Amino acid sequence: MEFKLSKSQNEIQKAAWDFARGEFDKNLALDLDKNSQFPEAIRKKACDLGFIGIHFDEKYSGGGLGVIENALLAETFCRKDSGIGIALMLSGYASECLLRFGKNELGKIFLPKIAEGEMISAGAFHESDKGFDLSAIETHAVKEKDEWVITGSKAYVINGRNAGFYIVLCRTDPAGSSDADLDLSITEGISMVLVESDRDGIFFETMGEKLGSRMIETARLTFDQVRVPKTNIVGKEGNGLAQIRAFFNESRLLTAAMSLGIAQGAFDRAIGYVKQREQFGKKIAGFEVTRHKLADMAIKIELARLITYQAAWQCDHKKADEKLSCMAKLYASQAAVEVSDEAMQLLGGYGYMAEYEVERFYRDAKIIELFEDQKNTQKNLVADALTGKSGKIGK
Amino acid sequence: MEILNYTKDHEAFRGRLQTFLNQEVVPHINRFEKEHLVSKDIWKKMGKNGFLCTNISKEYGGMGADFLYSVIVAEEIAKINFTGLAAPLHSDIIVPYINSFGSREQKKKYLPGCVSGEIITAVAMTEPDAGSDIASITTTAVEDGSDIIINGSKTFISNAVNCDLVILVAKDPAIENKHQALSLYLIDADTPGFSKGKPFEKMGWRSQDTGELFFNNCRIPKENRLGDAGMGFFMLMEKLQQERLVVTLGAVFGAEYMINWTMEYCKKTSGSRSGKPLIKSQAVQFAIVEMKTEASLGKVFTEKLVADHMEGKNVVIETSMAKYWTTDMAKRTALRCLDIAGNFGTLEECPLARAWRDVRVTSIFAGTNEIMKGIAAKFMGM
């Protein structure tokens, strides 16, 4: 058993760090966060350097590498800047559905556009402002000749109107029956359909300011009889719920890795501060309680790193484990909240001010913790696995 | 048996304040948050309706009321989930310095305006290099004939933009003992040599005009010294008990607000396809019960301290404990309520988002929670 990154993984990490240090300007980040603007110029450069889509196959213009390499990028970028890091790492959000489930031409068309910087993507999964249960969705896609006709509305769509395409979770009916025949209580018959954002009948509405991750727009989408070709089905018809579950399994690792980076970045800033700040005639790094706080923070970061890397490694070795992936997200995101919270406390009044960055790391940590699904939902999945209600699921 | 006994007069006051806040303040909160400022006419309306400085005697325009009126103001402001209108800071933390230590002339000059809202106050202690360690400030006050000349800068000052009057902590550079060098001064905002910075961008309290104050050969008459020369540190220490109590009240009432909101949200929100409301989830129920338990413990402790404080008891150890514990509790409550709200909690449209951003500073300001523990340890003889 060997606990270390490979030489090439170390090189990727170093390249990511050099890129982030060169491009993620602190004042730019403060402005982007304040004005809710996406770091578009940096994204383009990240694409040019091959950072975006590093986990896509080479035939899709990707780096041909794994979930773990993508996680290393997420950690490194978010360590330098939580907001820009999240925006870059989620710029291809849900495109993994094409990578993992697309047995057709969709991946060849769209994945290179993500990796080469031509567009960003989004997942349109959740519906009401208030619900969590994806098996209860009501957006439906009806087959008409060679097309799907999609009607319904989606909420919490990150990347909002900026996305080039959406992976839309829809209720489909294999028999092609009319609306009236759809039984909304059944969980079968849910599919993923790719919808290009320039199709007729899509309406956008921003969901307004968020508590964190403000560089990314979150929108409500309405589909009014939106027509896409039948071939826009992603993966297998009727397999949407299994696919979304497998996708979340992978995306949770990305969330865990971003959280890890946020925790590390907040910690870096706290260490820097306590080593130079003097009160009562000595550096505050010299106070016993400060030192113990630092120790506790470092322990959380190390544990978050271990479980995140392990879960990502398993994902790359065809041993994807939903339980471990949920554990990694739960633990790492909680660690990020706790570490950035303590970092703010160490910075005192400065910690509360935007200029000192830690407050943004803290807000970004919290929103990442709430991202995709509820903490209780993830605990339920862990408990299901522990009590035998569900087993491992394939990649 | 109630710990605090509210009379009919108290409840009538509460009713008037509730109506006022909902009619005059709530509709403007989003604008204030954007502008990083509460408009001055809200302060004047608060004053006109008798909601500021209720404890000031009738002689100076106040009600001469007991501290329970301050408790009511803290509670009702917490219920509208709005921190920008720092009335408790003005009424119960800053103005009491003038009321307790001011000369009769100073009181006549300033207190009626403080009560009416014509004068908004700020207290200037913290400096860029002196936060927790307040005795190490470097802003100087040097006598020059019948005047005093002030030089230095202050930071993280609440009401920095709106303030008309500043209570300043400055040191006499000629005195070596750090604690004996500090005095308090009253600075009118239109004094030459005094200037204000822009409000800071910060995590929360966005309507609060927190900023910097600058003193550049700022000349004030000697009569503007508040209390005796060299007594600044001791006057600050004396008033900190009430300051911490006010912060504690905000934390407890804030936690109650968040728990109530979350309960209502979970009653009307479906957690699953079956349509079962979130409130029926065992994990949600236990979380709410745990949070409510903590808030109730905090409230009982706080009410006891209010009663002791009203009797004039020294409860410096207990108020330090209460300030640290209740503000951490309110923060924990905010984080857990957000977890329950999930997706909706990520939107600023959800009141929990602002409540969380606002509550976080309470573990830092008015003496960090680490300082609170240090004070308690010291007074407990450790």
Q: What is the pLDDT of residues A72-110, one digit of tens each?
A: 999 999 999 999 999 999 999 999 999 999 766 899 999
In this complex, is the C-beta atom of A395 within 8 Å of any C-beta atom belonging to chain B? no
B20: its two tokens: 């006022």
What's the confidence (pLDDT) of residue B275?
75
Provide the residue-wise pLDDT of chain B in tens; the chain has 382 residues.
899 999 999 999 999 999 999 999 999 999 999 999 999 999 999 999 999 999 999 999 999 999 999 999 999 999 999 999 999 999 999 999 999 999 999 999 999 999 999 999 999 999 999 988 888 999 999 999 999 999 999 999 999 999 999 999 999 999 999 999 999 999 999 999 999 999 999 999 999 999 999 999 999 999 999 999 999 999 998 998 999 999 999 999 999 999 999 999 999 988 776 778 999 999 999 999 999 999 999 999 999 999 999 999 999 999 999 999 999 999 999 999 999 999 999 999 999 999 999 999 999 999 999 999 999 999 999 9
What percentage of chain A has pLDDT greater than the value 90?
86
CB contacts, 8 Å: A241 with chain B: none
Mean pLDDT, chain A, integer: 92
Residue A220, φ and ψ in degrees, nearest 5: -100, 135
Q: Is B129 helix (H, G, I), strand (E, B) or coil?
A: coil
The total of other beta-carbon atoms located within 10 Å of residue B174's CB is 9
- Matching residue, tokens 């060679």: A146
Q: Kindly tell me if the per-residue pLDDT of A179 is higher than 90.
A: no
Tell whether A214 is within 8 A of chain B (Cβ): no
Q: Is the pLDDT of residue A180 over 60?
A: no
In a mutational test of the B interface, the residue from A209, A215, A279, A339 whose CB has the highest number of chain B CBs within 10 Å is: A279
pLDDT of residue A188: 67
- Pseudo-torsion of CA A316, A318, A323, A324, nearest 10°? -30
Min mean pLDDT across A115-119, A290-294, A361-365, B84-88 is at B84-88
Which residues of chain A have a CB within 8 Å of the CB of B129? 278
**Given its phi and psi angles, is residue B103 left (phi above 0), alpha (psi -120 to 50 degrees) or beta?**
beta
Q: What is the pLDDT of residue A131?
A: 58
The chain A residue lying nearest B127, using CA atoms, is A349
Which of B133, B283, B357 lies nearest to residue A211, judging by beta carbons? B357
Question: For residue A85, what pLDDT is reported?
Answer: 98
Domain covering B123-230, topology: Butyryl-CoA Dehydrogenase, subunit A; domain 2 (2.40.110)
Helix B316-341 and helix B351-359, axial crossing angle in degrees, nearest 10: 150
- Residue A54 to residue A119: CA distance in whole angstroms: 16
Q: What is the pLDDT of residue A388?
A: 85
Assess contact for B345 and B294: CB atoms under 8 A.
Answer: no
For A356-393, what is the HEC assignment? Answer: HCHHHHHHHHHHHHHCCCCHHHHHHHHHHHHHCCCCCC
Residue pairs between chains A and B whose CB atoms are closer than 8 Å: 134
For an interface test with B, the pick among A345, A347, A364, A372 (most B C-beta atoms closer than 10 Å) comes out as A345
Distance separating the N- and C-terminal Cα atoms of chain A:
24
The three-class DSSP label of residue A205 is strand
| Nearest-5° Cα angle at B283, B282 to B286 | 85
Runs of H (alpha helix) within chain A = 7-23, 26-35, 40-48, 67-80, 82-89, 96-101, 106-115, 240-276, 288-316, 322-347, 349-352, 358-370, 375-387
| Nearest CB partner across the interface for B131, out of A281, A349, A367 | A349
Whether residues A345 and B364 touch (CB distance < 8 A) is answered with yes
**May I ask the CATH architecture of the domain B233-379?**
Up-down Bundle (1.20)
Residues 6+ apart with CB under 8 A from B76: B14, B17, B18, B21
Give the mean model confidence (pLDDT) for residues A181-194: 68
pLDDT confidence of residue B273: 66
Residues of B in contact with A289 (CB under 8 A): 370
**Under DSSP, is residue B124 helix (H, G, I), strand (E, B) or coil?**
strand
Asked if residue A394 has pLDDT above 70, the reply is no
Characterize the bridge pairing of strands B147-157 and B225-226: unpaired
Q: Select from B201, B343, B365 the Cβ nearest to the Cβ of A370.
A: B343
- Kindly give the residue spans of alpha helices, DSSP state H, lying in B172-315: 232-268, 282-310
Closest A-chain CA to B351: A211
Mean pLDDT within A199-209: 96
Q: Is it the case that residue A389 has pLDDT exceeding 90?
A: no
Domain residues of chain B, as ranges? 8-119, 123-230, 233-379
Check: CB of residue B367 under 8 Å from CB of residue B249: no
Q: Where are the domains of chain A?
A: 7-115, 121-239, 241-387
Name residue B151's beta-bridge partners.
B140
Strand partners of residue B194:
B215
Mean pLDDT value across residues A154-182: 78
B103's CB contacts (< 8 A; 6+ apart) are B223
The ipTM, to two decimals, is: 0.96
Look at residue A155 and give its three-state secondary structure.
strand
Pairing status of strand A163-172 against strand A120-124: parallel
Nearest CA in chain B to A287: B370
Element (H, E) at A149: strand A147-158
CA dist B210 and B179 (Å) reads 26
Summarised one tens digit per residue, pLDDT across range A252-286 is: 999 999 999 999 999 999 999 999 999 999 999 99
Q: What topology does CATH give the domain A121-239? A: Butyryl-CoA Dehydrogenase, subunit A; domain 2 (2.40.110)
How far apart CA A115 and CA A164 sit, in angstroms, is: 13
Nearest residue of B to residue A206, measured between CA atoms: B347
Q: Per-residue pLDDT tens for A299-311? A: 999 999 999 999 9
pLDDT in tens, B118-151: 999 999 999 999 988 888 999 999 999 999 999 9
Q: Do B273 and A279 touch (CB under 8 A)?
A: no
- What is chain B's percent helix, strand, coil content, to nearest 5? 55, 15, 30
Tokens of B292: 């409510």
More confident residue, A375 or A395: A375
DSSP structure string for A37-89: ---HHHHHHHHHTT-TTTTS-GGGTS----HHHHHHHHHHHHHH-HHHHHHHH
Cα separation of the two ends of chain B: 36
Interface probe for A, chosen from B126, B202, B346 (most Cβ of A below 10 Å), is B346
Measured between alpha carbons, how far is residue B247 from residues B156, B241, B252 in Å?
A: 16, 10, 9
Amino acid at B135: A
Residue to test with chain A: of B343, B349, B370, B372, most A Cβ within 10 A: B343
Band of pLDDT at residue A71, cut at 50, 70 and 90: very high
DSSP secondary-structure letter at B94? I
| DSSP symbol at A159 | T
- pLDDT for B230 equals 95
Pairing of strands A147-158, A140-144: antiparallel
What is the CATH architecture assignment of A241-387? Up-down Bundle (1.20)
Fold of the domain built from segment(s) A7-115: Butyryl-Coa Dehydrogenase, subunit A; domain 1 (1.10.540)
Q: Which of B270, B360, B369 sits opposite A130 (nearest CB)?
A: B270
| B40 vs B3: CA distance, rounded Å | 36
Chain A nearest CA to B104, separation (Å): 36
Q: What is the pLDDT of residues A333-349, one digit of tens each?
A: 999 999 999 999 999 99
Q: Name the nearest CA neighbour of B13 among B85, B82, B92, B71.
A: B71
Instruction: Nearest chain B residue to A186 by CA: give it.
Output: B273
The CATH number of domain B8-119, selected from 3.30.1490.100, 1.10.540.10, 3.40.50.300, 3.40.50.2300: 1.10.540.10
Q: In chain A, which residues have their Cβ closer than 8 Å to the Cβ of B280?
A: none
CB B342 to CB A279 under 8 A? no
* Bridge partners, B65 (sequence order): none
Q: Does A362 touch chain B (CB under 8 A)?
A: yes
Determine phi and psi for B161, rounding to 5 degrees.
-85, -40
Looking at chain A from residue 107 to 166, which residues have their Cβ under 8 Å from any Cβ of chain B? 126, 128-133, 135-136, 155-156
CB burial of residue A11 (10 Å; 0-12, 13-18, 19+)? exposed
Residue pair A16/A85 in contact (Cβ under 8 Å)? The answer is: no
Where residue A185 falls among pLDDT bands split at 50, 70, 90? Answer: very low
pLDDT at A258: 98
